[in-house]
Structure 1
Amino acid sequence: MAPSAADGARALRVAFLGQAVGRRADGLTSYSEQVVSGLLRRGEEVYFHHARGDGSQVPVDPRHAVAWPTLRFKTVTIPLPGFRTRMQGWLAAHRPDVTHCSLSFTLDDGWVGAAAERVGSARVVTFHLPFGQVGTGRALVMRELHRFWARRLSRYQRVIVFTEEHRHRLAEVGVELGRIEVLPNAVDTDRFCPGPSRVRAERLAGSSLVVGFAGRLDPEKGVRELLTGFERARLGPSARLLLAGRGALEGKVRQLAERDPRVVYLGQLGHLRDRVDFWRAVDLFCLPSSAEGLSISLLEAMASGCAVAVTPAGGLPVVAGGGLELDPSRLADAVAEQLQETSPGRARELGARAREEAVRHHGIDRMLDRLLAIYGSCINEQDHPGERTPS
């Protein structure tokens, strides 16, 4: 285990460039919240930088939060003029031991790595972009995005990804293999656990099987196929489809919820307590995604005791035999078939198995140990140029 302030070592000063909750609430905001909250519990000192347009819910004392004015176009965040001068000034004034960027913070993430190097800060970046299913148009687009960012990551000492496959994909577009660390997403299994749910009691009382989805309501998440599959499945009037999130298909989700009383749409889950309550209400989490890194929603669902139905791209290997596989070549039909074949009793059995897998392999403490070891390795290299320390 890497030394931390909780062990009596000096607290690390960490500048974490991440995503706040408010106008957005997605996997990146969950990652920022989990990592920063975990570092604070370990006694580290964290300054949280975020785009002002993301929202105002931050995982640190507001005095340690820095909100940057930006413009956002779809999924791209653009810093306003003057960002580089002010960021360089902040880094020079605070001199963090580690600068950790959750990509993409803004289009200037590559420049931030160089700016942090100039003040002697160790540099770590987490690369969230998925790579897509081989042979699809989306995979080609994602490969070009990987190539775009690979050229901009050269000043970061470590690039964190979530799977070995992602590590090799990133190396193929030019990132040095030895700088890429596989550090899977994690979940607080004490916080996300089975228990009573207000949503289940108030809005889903008497339901037989509750199928759930929380995340971006976008085409690559398989939302259309989920809606179609649920409608095709012969589940009876007491089944429910519970959805939460925002995205391009929000209008379609709202229309179906208005037309079919079995479909319940909650909007965006802006608070941690709402996510905990959501997953406790769900029997079966369905993620028919065509492109994922390692879904935090998947891990939260598993830790909460939900059965999971996922594509290979959506995270099936993570469930280690405890999940239901969705065939990506016929998603809507695959969703319908798996829903029809999963009784409430079967869902409970698979959910207990998924919970065991999450506790055993995806707990937040293990991830924090590794992350602090990576920080320590980078700091040592910064202090002793030319010396590579295993992390």
Structure 2
Amino acid sequence: MRIAWIGKKSPFCGNVTYSREITNALLDRGHQVSFLHFAQEDSEPDNWPNLREVSLPFIYKSQVYTIPTFKATKLLTESLREIKPDVVHASLTLSPLDFFLPEICEELRLPLIATFHTPFAGKGAKLVSGTQLLAYQLYAPFLVNYDRVIVFSQIQRELLAGMGVREENIAVIPNGVDTVKYSPGFSQIKAEF
């Protein structure tokens, strides 16, 4: 399967780790992955897989959000047309392009999946959950046009469904840890107890 993965390589955050680990796993399973991301150049750490990359131009990039140049939409569309993926995956939230992806993919007749990384603290949280709720309210009308949306908890699924995203299009896949790769080594402290 040919997969166009739209994600982040920098600055470091959980979305970067998610994109790296999932694209590595997809490659290990024999899939062809093209990685589209906001970058000025293609020099990244060695722990990234060797795959086709498309660098999208930006004006501003931070851990939270990226402001693309006007050329980014055209480059993204042309790249997807050239790659001809079987599916497009967007690891959201990235940039205002998130809102145009459904239209681009519909025009190119490509299925579009998103992993919506915006957490929601739920009941009892104060300012942070208010800001997070605003992100859900902003994204929900656009997520309606994605073929599938992946979230990490049932409360996120219920929240998006309440905002109009079809429940059958929302998949809950909780975050996990590869316990073989990320397991602690021998510890003298543990041995002393």
Normalised-by-shorter TM-score class = 0.7 to 0.9
Q: Is structure 2 residue 20 aligned with structure 1 residue 33? A: yes
Matches within 5 A, 1:250-289: none
**Which residue pairs with 2:178 in the alignment?**
188
SS of 2:81's partner is helix
Aligned length: 188
Q: CA deviation at 1:106?
A: 1.7
**Which residue pairs with 1:69 in the alignment?**
57
Q: CA deviation at 1:193?
A: 2.0
Q: CA deviation at 1:19?
A: 1.1
**Which residue pairs with 1:126 in the alignment?**
115
TM-score, structure 2 as length reference = 0.87
Q: CA deviation at 1:156?
A: 0.9
Runs of 4 or more above 3 Å deviation: none
Q: Judging by fraction of residues, say which structure has more strand.
A: 2
Conserved in 1, the CA contact under 8 Å of 2:13 and 2:63? no
Q: CA deviation at 1:192?
A: 1.6
Matches within 5 A, 1:221-236: none
Aligned partner letter, 1:30: T
Matches within 5 A, 1:254-333: none
Q: Spell out, residue by residue over 1:102-138, the C-alpha distance to the aligned partner (whole angstroms, 9 max, x if none).
A: 0012221121222122212111000010112424222
**Which residue pairs with 2:5 in the alignment?**
16
User: % of aligned pairs identical?
Assistant: 30
- Stretches of structure 2 that go unaligned for 5 or more consecutive residues are none
Q: Is structure 2 residue 65 aligned with structure 1 residue 81? A: no
**Which residue pairs with 2:94 in the alignment?**
105
Q: CA deviation at 1:174?
A: 2.4
Q: CA deviation at 1:82?
A: 1.3
Distance 1:181 1:27, change over 3 A: same
Q: Judging by fraction of residues, say which structure has more helix.
A: 1
SS of 1:46's partner is strand
Q: Is structure 2 residue 35 aligned with structure 1 residue 45? A: no
Q: Spell out, residue by residue over 1:134-175, the C-alpha distance to the aligned partner (whole angstroms, 9 max, x if none).
A: 242222221111010111223211000011111101222222
Conserved in 2, the CA contact under 8 Å of 1:113 and 1:156? yes
Hey, what's the Cα distance between the residues in 2 that align with 1:141 and 1:106? 17
- From 47, 56, 62, give the equivalent of 2:44: 56
TM-score, structure 1 as length reference = 0.45
Q: CA deviation at 1:74?
A: 6.2
Hey, what's the Cα distance between the residues in 1 that align with 2:15 and 2:82? 27
Q: CA deviation at 1:196?
A: 4.5
Aligned partner letter, 1:98: V
Conserved in 1, the CA contact under 8 Å of 2:3 and 2:88? yes
Distance 1:76 1:105, change over 3 A: closer
- From 170, 174, 179, give the equivalent of 2:169: 179
- Stretches of structure 1 that go unaligned for 5 or more consecutive residues are 1-11, 198-205, 209-282, 284-343, 346-391
Q: Spell out, residue by residue over 1:331-350, the C-alpha distance to the aligned partner (whole angstroms, 9 max, x if none).
A: xxxxxxxxxxxxx85xxxxx
Q: CA deviation at 1:73?
A: 5.3
Q: Spell out, residue by residue over 1:164-189, the C-alpha distance to the aligned partner (whole angstroms, 9 max, x if none).
A: 11110122222221211001122222
Q: Please report the RMSD computed on the Cα atoms of aligned residues, expressed in angstroms.
A: 2.3
